[in-house]
Amino acid sequence: MPDDPQWKEDYEDAVQKLRDAGLRITNPRMALLKVLLDQKLPCRIEDLHQQVGPQHCDLATLYRCLATFQELGIVRRCFLNDGTSLFEIVSPNREHNHHVICKVCHKVESFDVCVAEGLEPLVRKLGYRDISHVLEFFGICEDCQENESPATAKNLSKK
Amino acid sequence: MPDDPQWKEDYEDAVQKLRDAGLRITNPRMALLKVLLDQKLPCRIEDLHQQVGPQHCDLATLYRCLATFQELGIVRRCFLNDGTSLFEIVSPNREHNHHVICKVCHKVESFDVCVAEGLEPLVRKLGYRDISHVLEFFGICEDCQENESPATAKNLSKK
DNA sequence: GTGAGTGCAAAGAGTTTGCAGTGGG
DNA sequence: CCCACTGCAAACTCTTTGCACTCAC
């Protein structure tokens, strides 16, 4: 992946942002950045932790790095319907995507349309500043529909 | 409010749904339902708890009732950017709204356009079933912009 | 060398669960 | 009268924080 010129550009960009902010280029940060750049889709923090290598970076550090990256506009954090979050790299090279998330297996699919952007001016007109939005679709994916027993479909969801 | 025919209809509907599901009509459930029907906007659970009267219903019960209501399609739960959730009654009499939520004071404003509904067929085409979506805007409201010191605006957000 | 950054452990917030007691049907 | 429902307290999950140590600059 690091051979990809686009990957490299995003990487350099992020490093520059850190430098500009007077922040240090540390191993955990670089490891995380590389993992983030390798993702095609937004990622749960546990997955990131797994990929960075749990021995290379503490979970607490991961949260701190991600918070830092978010402040610098390097990553976007997106809160899901189950209270957890996904993180994804922000890059002018990557489109602003929304996602379809399976309620059962948490698989994420990209969805390259953003109908919501057009509404932000309307929100601005209401007097709001620093506007962002969340648009995510939730459903049950084909695989999970098959694996789901007819019984569970009827039950009120319980463990 | 209970004089409002629409209120009454929604109320009866919900009670019927409970009956149909073989669930009991209990005081906490009815108290919660009434409070929910009185809300004009989605509500944090602490607010609901306050309005029901903390002495009339335990927080745990409130969560359980809300989960039940959600299963029955009586309420919708919407997770916010800060990890908490808002609950709102689902009613054919009320439009499907989206909201603008102030990042600072958590004020919620209604926004009576839904651009996302049109995309659900696309998601269905991807093989998903039981589709729902979340579309919320976040920003800083006028009041909070005024009250914010120029200093905090520059700072990386910290307590 | 020095302070920003880290790992570890402990705290915190919001939410869920186990269990014994209660009350709706 | 019985079991679904509740209240209470404890557990759980995800995330943040405090503190002493470390390593980037």
Q: In this predicted model, what pLDDT tens digit does every residue of B96-142 receive, in sequence order?
A: 677 888 877 778 887 777 777 778 888 899 899 888 887 888 888 88
- What angle do the packed helices A27-38 and A59-71 form, to 10 degrees? 70
Q: Report d(CA B148, CA B150) in Å as an integer.
A: 6
- What angle do the packed helices B5-20 and B27-38 form, to 10 degrees? 140
Instruction: For residue B91, give how far its alpha carbon lies from the nearest alpha carbon of chain A (Å).
Output: 20
**Residue A63 contacts strand D, CB under 7 A:** yes
pLDDT bin (cut points 50, 70, 90) of residue A96 is: low
SS3 B149: coil
For the A1-91 domain, the top CATH level (class) is mainly alpha
Q: What CATH number labels A95-159?
A: 3.30.1490.190
| C8 C1': nearest CA residue | A58
Mean pLDDT of B25-54: 93
* Tens of pLDDT, residues A16-67: 999 999 999 999 999 999 999 999 888 999 999 999 998 889 999 999 999 9
**Residue B50 contacts strand C, CB under 7 A:** no
Q: Residue B96: exposed, middle, or buried by beta-carbon count in 10 A (0-12, 13-18, 19+)?
A: middle
Query: Which pLDDT score is estimated for A64?
Result: 97
Domain ranges (residues) in chain A: 1-91, 95-159
Decide which of A79 and A51 is more confident: A51
CA atoms within 13 A of residue A29's CA, in its CB half-sphere: 20
Decide which of B137 and B8 is more confident: B8
Residue A135 clears pLDDT 50, i.e. is over it: yes
Among A113, A131, A86, CA closest to B99: A131
Same CATH topology for B1-91 and B95-159: the answer is no
Q: Which residue has the tokens 């949260």?
A: A63
